[in-house]
Amino acid sequence: MSPSPPDSFDLLETTVADVHAAMEDGRVTAERLVDRYLVRIDAYDDDLNAILTVNGNARERARRLDERFERDGLVGPLHGVPLLLKDNQDTHDMPTTAGSTALAESRPPRDAFVVERLREAGAVVVAKANLQELSFGVDTISSLGGETRNAYDLDRRPSGSSGGTAAAIAANLAAVGTGSDTCSSVRSPPAFNDLVGVRPTRGLVSRTGIVPLSESQDTAGPITRTVADAARLLEVMAGYDPDDPVTATGADEVPADGYVQHLDADGLDGARVGVARQFFGPRDEERTSEADAAAVTAIVEEAVAEMSDAGATILDPVEVVDLDRLASARVLQYEFARDFDRYLSELGEAAPYDSLAEVYGTGEIAPSIAARFEEADILDVDAGTLDSNPGYLRRLRRRQELKESTLSRMVDLDLDALLYPPSRVPPVEIPEHQPFAEMNCELSAHTGLPAIVVPAGFTDDGLPVGVELLGREFAEPRLFELAYGFERATDHRRPPEGFGTLDGA
């Protein structure tokens, strides 16, 4: 692909606001912007291995938006913004593969609800990103896309399952991106790639048209370079979907003035933040290095001090939950096959297979993911008896109890947020697998409470570390205030080396 002539707009680290200002000033068009990101994908993705499919219709879509802009101005809050989707979110004009060769030709008849909303807001889907196959794990390895690499160290993991989106957004291969989160996937990949990620409250964002892993835990969320862009994306993605009844609980929870209005540079002033020390340090001391965990802890300690300097009252430590009880509320192993089979049935004739068992039976699933199937006995669950399965029902009750006890703890201490690292250790070197035991994903995933991850700094080895803030139910506005205040006070985001401006592009 030959690069187009340069223009006056610098797209490195650009934001939605920057893009729209440049369009208003005539410095860039949507079509030109798409061209330049496609050139970057062509130049840099061999290193990252983050992109599965480029959208052949992106230029035409951008051209139509430019024509609309000439007549009417911006068509929506994401007008002309090049967007990267995790490839488990249905697109009517591109395959939706979940990273599996078994689904390589699967073309859903319509967009996922969140994709539809993003396009209605004016976004241009430039490509779809690699992921941990079927979202089952935290490495970003798939039979279709292979192994994605960390943008800050190509010898290390980007985490998962949304690692393709995170690595690509970190390297400026698109303006903004989406992920999905069952138990880490819009939090640990941003943390490992110096980005912002938001796991919204359960019920705020529709799951319709997203390849499922666990109905009780799945949600989509933004992955961006700035808190402001995360707020803009979530503002568009959130909303009631009659095909996903759980969104009725969040139908009236998006503030009338949206999330962008809650970007307060002084958001930490007067805040009360509890440090959940039980999520620091290695859990599996036989397999995890104390030094690795200490490197993360040191950065998060600095973040706590920076929040205090910005006006927050820090309560340290705060005991939240019993970790064994939290782990015992996992339901993925019960729900995966049931929910995946339902998704395939809703594809109708577009479905290449009828069940998860058939997909697994192809023998094409990446070996490390296939091993997880065997360890968890995923295909041995009788989905038809789940409504009377005592183990499953007990875990669902436990999840509600954990949510109530966590909220009670926050109310008792008058906390705006709980703070902890998304992962207790940095990215591991390939071919090692990122240790799930060291992920702190379950408190948000098992309670359905919202969480935001923001850049907190770098280890001595130059590896990004994030800090996670967990809030009360539907308290996304407050989380954006806190995260934006921290971002403005610290400015820990920096682009990775090796993905700079291209000559002539």
Neighbours of 368 (CB within 10 A): 16
CA 97, 103, 106, 108 torsion: positive or negative? negative
Neighbours of 411 (CB within 10 A): 10
Tokens standing for residue 483: 């995260």
Which of 135, 143, 162, 185 does the annotation list as catalytic?
185
CA angle at residue 266 from 263 to 271, to 5 degrees? 100
Which of 135, 142, 161, 184 does the annotation list as catalytic?
161
Tokens standing for residue 31: 């079509």
- 185: annotated active-site residue: yes
- 161: annotated active-site residue: yes
- Picking from 163, 215, 445, 178, the residue whose alpha carbon sits closest to that of residue 340 is 215
Tokens standing for residue 163: 């690692």
Count of all residues that appear for the chain in the document: 505
What is the Cα–Cα distance from 481 to 227, expressed in whole angstroms? 9
The answer to whether 83 and 123 are in contact (CB under 8 A) is yes
Distance between first and last Cα of the chain: 11
| Three-class SS state of 367 | helix
CA angle at residue 237 from 236 to 242, to 5 degrees? 115
| Three-class SS state of 466 | strand
The answer to whether 221 and 200 are in contact (CB under 8 A) is yes
Give φ, ψ of 104 to 5 degrees.
-60, -30
- Picking from 269, 253, 267, 270, the residue whose alpha carbon sits closest to that of residue 475 is 253
Tokens 């995923």: give the residue.
378
- Picking from 205, 211, 199, the residue whose alpha carbon sits closest to that of residue 241 is 205
What is the Cα–Cα distance from 250 to 471, expressed in whole angstroms? 15
- 86: annotated active-site residue: yes
What are the contacts of 391-396 at 24+ separation with CB within 8 A? 391/334, 392/331, 392/334, 395/328, 395/329, 395/330, 395/331, 395/334, 396/216, 396/331
Tokens standing for residue 254: 């998006």
What is the Cα–Cα distance from 66 to 79, expressed in whole angstroms? 9
Exposed e or buried b for every residue in 241-277, given b needs 16+ CB within 10 A? beebebbebbeebbeeebbbebbbeebbeebebbbbe
Tokens standing for residue 255: 């503030």
Residues with active-site annotation: 86, 161, 185
